[in-house]
Amino acid sequence: MFIKNYPLSKVTSLGVGGPADLFIKPASAGEVAYTQRFAADNNLPLTIIGYGTNLIIRDGGIRGIVMQIAEPLARAKVEGRVLTAQAGCLLGSLSKLALQHHLSGLEFAVGIPGSLGGAAFMNAGAYGGEIGPLIKRVQFVQNGTVGSWSRDEFHFSYRSSRLQKEQDKTIVTEVELELAPGQKKDIRQKMDAFQSQRKSKQPLEYPSAGSTFKRPPGHYVGPLIEQAGLKGLRIGGAEVSAKHAGFIIKTGEAKARDFLDLIAKIQEIILQEFGVELEPEIRILGED
The CATH number, out of the four listed (3.30.465.10, 2.40.50.140, 2.60.40.730, 3.90.1280.10), of the domain defined by the range 73-186? 3.30.465.10
Contact 101, 144 (CB under 8 A): no
Distance CA 187, CA 242 (A): 32
Helix (H, G, I), strand (E, B) or coil at 3: strand
**One of 130, 176, 239, 281 is an active-site residue; which one?**
281
Predicted pLDDT of residue 12: 95
Predicted pLDDT of residue 86: 98
In degrees and rounded to multiples of 5, residue 235 shows phi and psi of -130, 115
Distance CA 134, CA 60 (A): 37
Domain ranges of the chain: 3-71, 73-186, 203-285
- What does the pLDDT profile of the chain (288 residues) look like in tens digits? 899 999 999 999 999 999 999 999 999 999 999 999 999 999 999 999 999 999 999 999 999 999 999 999 999 999 999 999 999 999 999 999 999 999 999 999 998 888 999 899 888 888 788 999 999 999 999 989 999 999 888 888 888 888 877 766 899 999 999 999 999 999 999 999 999 988 888 898 999 999 999 999 999 999 999 999 999 999 999 999 999 999 999 998 999 999 999 999 999 999 999 999 999 999 999 999
Task: Give me the architecture of the 203-285 domain, per CATH.
Answer: Alpha-Beta Complex (3.90)
**One of 211, 239, 241, 283 is an active-site residue; which one?**
211
Predicted pLDDT of residue 198: 86
Distance CA 167, CA 162 (A): 9
For the question of residue 159 being annotated catalytic, the response is yes
CATH number of 3-71: 3.30.43.10
DSSP 192-229: HHHHHHHHHHS-TTS-EEEE-BPPPTT--HHHHHHHTT
Predicted pLDDT of residue 168: 61
**One of 95, 107, 115, 159 is an active-site residue; which one?**
159
